[in-house]
Amino acid sequence: NNTLWAATSTGRIFVSKNADAKNPADVTFNRLDQFSSIDPNRWPSAIWVSSSNPNQAIVSYSGYNAVTPATPGHIFGVTYNPATKQATWVRIDDDSLGDLPIADVQVDEQRHVLYASTDFGVVKLRLKGNGGPFRGAEKWRLAGATEAPHHYVVANGYGADPACATDRYLVEHDPYAVI
């Protein structure tokens, strides 16, 4: 795999798809934070890259939400689209985490659990659904925002995300009502 994620202390997030180029001068980076209106203007503390999809990462931020009240959050899922060279950002943490700066993140992909370390200990967050760090509703929103002549939906309606179970009856009895 020739993908490399990187960050700067000023909050910039980059990805390279040719990190293994023979000549280091040929390595190119695409800046991803410019595509987000929700990432906080604080320093990234860690980047965890999915082993099953190197275009998906979880980025954690240090600092306090009180410093950036318009853009709260400490843990974000980022999906990079190599075709468009753009990224989609989703806030993963919620207010139940509190205003705790995150030092590092790791994910148990088999159990769909994210572990985030803080100055006060380790926080365990259950990731929603089986599609990685992105909630079911966000997957639907992204599918609708994708420009394509046709959209196909493949779903079993039995994901771990509570939103998936909400309309299970409709999926089984009247799937067009869901779409």
Q: Does pTM surpass 0.85?
A: no
Type of residue at 83: A
Residue 5 in contact with residue 48, Cβ under 8 Å? no
Q: Is 137 helix (H, G, I), strand (E, B) or coil?
A: helix
Q: How do residues 139-161 score in pLDDT, each as one tens digit?
A: 444 455 555 566 555 555 554 44
Q: How do residues 39-82 score in pLDDT, each as one tens digit?
A: 898 999 999 999 989 999 999 999 898 888 999 999 999 999 99
CA angle 64, 114, 60 (to 5 degrees): 30
Q: How do residues 24-43 score in pLDDT, each as one tens digit?
A: 999 999 999 998 999 898 99
The dihedral built from the CA positions of residue 167, 173, 177 and 178, taken in this order, carries a sign that is: positive
Q: Report how far residue 51's alpha carbon sits from residue 30's, in angstroms, rounded to the nearest whole number.
A: 20
**Which residues does residue 31 pair with via DSSP β-bridges, in sequence order?**
14
* pLDDT on residue 163: 47
> Residue 131: is its pLDDT beyond 80?
no
